[in-house]
Structure 1
Amino acid sequence: MTIFSKIIKGEIPSYKIAENEHFYAFLDIFPLVQGHTLIVPKVETDKFFDVDDQLLAEWLLFAKPIARAIEQAIPCNRVGMSVVGLEVPHAHMHLIPINSADDLNFTRQKLKLSQEEFKAIQEKITSGL
């Protein structure tokens, strides 16, 4: 069982943004920028392009209102999307508020936010959904 499956089951706490029967969205606890959100399918699949075609299409539709809510909550030029998939063997999508392509550079140092900061960001984003 991956760390993401444990988060989905509530065994590990998270800052949930949205959920439906197929997907779970939550704030990345090692964010590149404030508002950095992960979306994972509830079915464990290692690689993004191994996800069932129908589920892959639904994933983008699930992500769309979340991206819009992030854009409203966090000052940015747009919300970028990235799929890297090297750290956790559970397909996942990153939605990241960006102002330049460098904002999607995963080799950059991650932010260290307090619990209060995470909760405030969570509230800003979820209030836009």
Structure 2
Amino acid sequence: MSVFTKIIKGEIPSYKIAENDSFYAFLDIFPLVKGHTLIVPKVEIDKFFDVTDDLLGEWLLFAKPIAQSIERNFPCNRVGISVVGLEVPHAHMHLIPINTADDMNFARPKLKMTEEEFKAVQQQIIAGLER
């Protein structure tokens, strides 16, 4: 069972942004920038392109309002999408507010945020979904 499946099941706490029957979105706890969000399918599939065609389409539709909320709430030119998939054997998508391509460089140092900062970011994104 992957760490993401444990998060989805509530066995590991997370800063949940949204979920439906197929997907779970939550803040990355090692963010590149504030607003960095992960979206994972609830079905545990290792590689992104092993996901069914239907699920791939649903994934982008699920991600769209989250990305729009991130873009409205955090200073950026756009929200980038990254699918690296090396750290956890469970397909996942990163939504990252970016101003340059280097903002998506995973070799960069990660932000160190307090629980209060994570909760504030979580609430900003959720509030943006409710508009």
Q: Does 1:11 align with 2:14?
A: no
Q: How many Å separate the matches in 1 of 2:72 and 2:126?
A: 10
Superposed counterparts of 1:15-94, under 5 Å: 15-94=15-94
Letter matched to residue 35 of structure 2: G
Q: TM-score, normalised by structure 2?
A: 0.98
Superposed counterparts of 1:93-112, under 5 Å: 93-112=93-112
Q: How many Å separate the matches in 1 of 2:16 and 2:60?
A: 18
The 3-state SS of whatever aligns with 1:128 is helix
The 3-state SS of whatever aligns with 1:127 is helix
**Deviation string, structure 1 residues 70-92 (Cα, Å, up to 9, x no partner):** 00111111100000000000000
Give ranges in structure 1 of 5+ residues lacking alignment.
Answer: none
**Deviation string, structure 1 residues 89-129 (Cα, Å, up to 9, x no partner):** 00000000000000000000101100000000000000010
Q: How many Å separate the matches in 1 of 2:75 and 2:105?
A: 18
Give ranges in structure 2 of 5+ residues lacking alignment.
Answer: none
The 3-state SS of whatever aligns with 2:84 is coil
Q: TM-score, normalised by structure 1?
A: 0.99
Letter matched to residue 124 of structure 2: K
Task: Report the RMSD for the aligned CA atoms in angstroms.
Answer: 0.4
The 3-state SS of whatever aligns with 2:11 is coil
The 3-state SS of whatever aligns with 1:17 is strand
4+ residue segments displaced more than 4 Å: none
